[in-house]
C-alpha cells in the first residue's frame, strides 16, 4: 500500500499550504443570514409580491380619495340641484349627477368612507368576538368547548343573509344596525379558525415548556397562544372586509340599505341599477369602485396568507 500520493493536476499546491489552522479561528457555528423576526420576515416576503404591492397602492389611493375628495370638492353629497339632474360625466362633475342633481363624484367618495368603514369595522368586530369566543372554547376545551361549538353550529345553520336581513328589519336600516347585523353571525368563522389554532398550539412543546417554568394561564394565552395563532386571523380579516362591503351592497339592493340621502356604494349601485338602461354611468362608477376595492383586498389577503405562512419560508 502506498503511504502518500501526490496530487497530479494542481500546480499551485505548495508545501507551505500544509500548515494547520488554529482551532477556533473558523467560526463553526456561523449564522450567515441576517436576523429577522417573524413579522419582519413576513413583511419582506409581502413586499416581494409585486401584485400585492400594486393592490396595496391602489387601495391606499382609494382611501386617500375617500378622505380628501369630499373635502376638496365644492359640492356636498346632499346638495340638490334639479337643473343639472341626470347629467353624464363632465369636467365639473367627473362622475356625473344623479336624479336629484347631486354630484356623484362626491357621493361616490362619501360612499367610499361609509362602505370602507363598514367593511373594516365589521371585520374588526368579527375578529374580536371570534378571538374571544374561539380562544375560550379552545383553551378551556372539554365539555365547555363542546357546548360552545354546538352553539356556533346551530347559529351557523341558518344562512347568514337571513339573519342579517331579519336583524336589519328589526333594528331599522342605518349605519350602526348594519354593522351589528353583519357582525351578528360573521364572527363564527373566525371563532372556529382561532379555536383550531389554539387547540393545536396548546399541545405544542413550547407551551408545555412554559408551563414547566411555572407560568400561569393568562401568560400562556398572551405570550404564546395569541402571537402564534393570530396570523390566519389577519388573513381572514383581509378577506372579511370585501365580504362585508358586498353584503352591504346586497342589503341596499333588497331595500334594506342605508337610508337616503346617506351615500354608500351599496345604495349608489342600487339606485344606479334602476336607471341603468338610460343613465348607465350612475351604476358603472360605484360598481367599478366596489370591484376594484374587493379585488385589492382579496389580492392582499392572498399575499398575507403566503407571507405569514412559515412553511413558505425559503
Partner 1 sequence: MSHPILKVNHLSKHFRIGYHQRLVAVDDISFSLKKGDTLGIVGESGCGKTTLGRTIMHIYEPTEGTIEIDGQLVEAKNSKLRQEMAHKIQMVFQDPYASLNPRMTVGDIIGEGWNYRRQYEKAERRRRVVELLHTVGLNEEHASRFPHEFSGGQRQRIGIARALSMEPEILICDEPISALDVSIQAQVMNLLLDLQREKNLSYLFIAHDLSMVRYISTNIMVMYLGSEVEFGPSDQIYHNGVHPYTEALFSAIVLPDPDCDRLSRRIMLEGETPSPINAPSGCKFSTRCAYAQPICHEKKPELTQVADNHYCACFFPRLERLELNGQSH
Partner 2 sequence: MSTESILRIENLRFSFMTYAGEIQAVRGISLEVKAGEVLGLVGESGCGKSVACKSILRLNPEDNGVYLPGSRILFEGKDVLTMSERELLRLRANDIRMVFQDPMTSLNPTMKVGKQIAEGILNAFPKMKRREAKELAIETLRDTGIPNAEKRYEQYPHQFSGGMRQRAMIALALAVKPKLLICDEPTTALDVTLQAQILDMLRSLQAKYQTAIIFITHDLGVVANIADHIAVMYAGKIMEYGNGQDIFYDPKHPYTWGVLQSVPPIDADTSVPLVPISGSPPDLFKPPIGCPFTARCPHAMEVCRQHYPSPQQASERHIVTCWLYHAYAPHVINPITNEEAVL
228 binds, among partner 1, partner 2, none (CB under 5 to 8 A by kind): partner 1
Cβ proximity to partner 2: between 32 and 37 the closer is 32
Is residue 35 at the binding interface for partner 2, with CB under 8 A as the rule? no
Give yes or no for a contact between 238 and 300, defined as CB atoms under 8 angstroms apart: yes
Task: Concatenate the DSSP letters of all residues of 93-152 into one string.
Answer: STT-B-TT--BHHHHHHHHHHHHHHHHHHHHHHHHHHHHHHHHHHHHH-HHHHHHHHHHH
Is residue 13 at the binding interface for partner 2, with CB under 8 A as the rule? yes
Cβ proximity to partner 1: between 211 and 305 the closer is 211
User: Contacting partner 1 (CB under 8 A), which of 51, 57, 208, 291?
Assistant: 208
Q: Using CB under 8 A, which residues numbered 30 to 49 contact partner 1?
A: 31, 33, 35-38
CB of 219 to partner 1, least distance (A): 6
- Contact segment (CB under 8 A) with partner 2 among 20-28, 88-96, 142-150, 302-310 equals 20-28
Q: Give the separation between CA 90 and CA 87, rounded to whole angstroms.
A: 8
Please provide the size of the chain in residues.
Answer: 314
| Residue corresponding to grid cell 354630484 | 103
Nearest partner of 160 among 240, 231, 235, 236, judged by Cα: 240
User: Contacting partner 1 (CB under 8 A), which of 99, 165, 210, 287?
Assistant: 210
CB of 63 to partner 1, least distance (A): 29
Q: Give the separation between CA 98 and CA 85, rounded to whole angstroms.
A: 6
CB of 194 to partner 1, least distance (A): 16
Task: Draw the binding track, 73-102, toward partner 2 (x: CB under 8 A; -: no contact).
Answer: ------------------------------
- Contact segment (CB under 8 A) with partner 1 among 54-62, 116-124, 158-166, 214-222 equals 214-222
Is residue 18 at the binding interface for partner 2, with CB under 8 A as the rule? yes
CA 185 to the chain's CA centroid: 18
CA distances for 144 relative to 109, 135, 191, 216, angstroms: 46, 12, 14, 20
Cis peptide before 261 (omega within 30 of 0): yes
Cβ proximity to partner 2: between 3 and 278 the closer is 3
Which set of grid coordinates corresponds to residue 109? 367618495
Q: Is 157 exposed, middle or buried (0-12, 13-18, 19+ CB in 10 A)?
A: exposed
* Interacting residue ranges for partner 1, rule: CB under 8 A: 29, 31, 33, 35-38, 204-206, 208-216, 219, 223-224, 227-228, 310, 313
Q: Which residue ranges make up the site for partner 2 (CB under 8 A)?
A: 1-7, 9-10, 12-21, 23, 26-30, 32, 48, 314
Amino acid at each position: 500500500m502506498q503511504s502518500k500520493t501526490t496530487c497530479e493536476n494542481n500546480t499551485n499546491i505548495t508545501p507551505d499550504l500544509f500548515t494547520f489552522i488554529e482551532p477556533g479561528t473558523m467560526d463553526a457555528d456561523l449564522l450567515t443570514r441576517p436576523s429577522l423576526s417573524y413579522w419582519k420576515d413576513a413583511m419582506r416576503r409581502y413586499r416581494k409580491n409585486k401584485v400585492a404591492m400594486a393592490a396595496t397602492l391602489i387601495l391606499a389611493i382609494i382611501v386617500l380619495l375617500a378622505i380628501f375628495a369630499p373635502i376638496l370638492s365644492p359640492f356636498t353629497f346632499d346638495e340638490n340641484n334639479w337643473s343639472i339632474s341626470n347629467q353624464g360625466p363632465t369636467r365639473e362633475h367627473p362622475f356625473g349627477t344623479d336624479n336629484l342633481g347631486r354630484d356623484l363624484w362626491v357621493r361616490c367618495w362619501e360612499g367610499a368612507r361609509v362602505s370602507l368603514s363598514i367593511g373594516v369595522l365589521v371585520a374588526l368586530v368579527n375578529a374580536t368576538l371570534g378571538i374571544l369566543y374561539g380562544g375560550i372554547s379552545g383553551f378551556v376545551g372539554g365539555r365547555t368547548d363542546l357546548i360552545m361549538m354546538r352553539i356556533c353550529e346551530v347559529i351557523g345553520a341558518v344562512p347568514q343573509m337571513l339573519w342579517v336581513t331579519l336583524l336589519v328589519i328589526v333594528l331599522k336600516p342605518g349605519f350602526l344596525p348594519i354593522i351589528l347585523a353583519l357582525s351578528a353571525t360573521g364572527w363564527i368563522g373566525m371563532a372556529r379558525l382561532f379555536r383550531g389554532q389554539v387547540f393545536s398550539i396548546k399541545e405544542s412543546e413550547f407551551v408545555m415548556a412554559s408551563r414547566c417554568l411555572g407560568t400561569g394561564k393568562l401568560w400562556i394565552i398572551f405570550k404564546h397562544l395569541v402571537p402564534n395563532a393570530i396570523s390566519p386571523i389577519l388573513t381572514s380579516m383581509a378577506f372579511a372586509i370585501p365580504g362585508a362591503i358586498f353584503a352591504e351592497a346586497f342589503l341596499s339592493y333588497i331595500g334594506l340599505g342605508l337610508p337616503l340621502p346617506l351615500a354608500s356604494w351599496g345604495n349608489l349601485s342600487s339606485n344606479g341599477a334602476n336607471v341603468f338602461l338610460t343613465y348607465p354611468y350612475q351604476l358603472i362608477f360605484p360598481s367599478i369602485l366596489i370591484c376594484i376595492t374587493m379585488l385589492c383586498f382579496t389580492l392582499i389577503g392572498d399575499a398575507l396568507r403566503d407571507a405569514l405562512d412559515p412553511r413558505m419560508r425559503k
